[in-house]
Structure 1
Amino acid sequence: MSSAFTFSNDPSLIDRDLVHHWLSVESYWAQGRSRETQDAAMDESRNYSVRDADGRQVAYARVVTDGVTFAWLCDVFVDESARGKGIGRMIVEGVIQDLQDGSTVKRIVLATSTADGLYAKYGFAESPGPNRYMIKQMPRD
């Protein structure tokens, strides 16, 4: 991983226009997400970024947490131009370290269909036992 990249947990450094584009246009999980929805989600979450040596944001991650027992890692995105340079590892390591340092969170969960190998390197595994991940879709216009 190059020292030309820097991890940050400072929400003021997030390029919200860029993040919205990445998620609403380029991601497979948030296609069409409105800017209003994205901004509201960011405002209620912990936000992380990785920047290159020129200060350009190349990655983003968001964590929804109570700050005490539970955290949901979501919206992890690495710009296509920065992929293959260790940026995914950098942002996951940074998020885990921030949650270890700044809270008593005992459990971090996530959902992925493409990066399970990356997350497994950091101790993420399928839920053991008879636990089932369940979803209730809320009707919204």
Structure 2
Amino acid sequence: MKSGYAAAVALLALTATPAMAKEVVVRMKNQGAAGAMVFEPAFVKAMPGDTIRFVPSDPSHNAETIPTMLPPGVAPSKGGMNKEFVLPVSAPGLYGIKCMPHYSMGMVALVQVGNGPSPNLAAARGVKLPPFAAKRMAPMLAQAK
């Protein structure tokens, strides 16, 4: 009887996990609270299993990962111009995001997955970014754990 109860509890825990995953929407904008060419929000906290959806609010944007700012074992991915980009996050750590056409203008975002410490925090802080992108990324990295 106890083993049947334990199995039921384990099955319930496994089936309940997907329902807890959330989707976060990030807008790609020409103008926002932080100025021109921004992601809003630019800093996102998520948990493994969540999905981050980058939605173009204005034309001429894309979202793609910054290959040198990803958790170990996560492959870079890229969205198309003027298309939604869906980033499922499974590994804990920091995911750097850029809009390629506006990268030098500072259009970057940071997704922190998990409660920390992020396994790639030191590496992410050491990544060389274009000057304006680095200026915008610095306060996001300061918030990350």
- TM-score exceeds 0.5: no
TM-score bracket for this pair, using the shorter chain length: 0.3 to 0.5
Query: Which TM-score applies when normalising by structure 2?
Result: 0.34
Higher strand share: 2
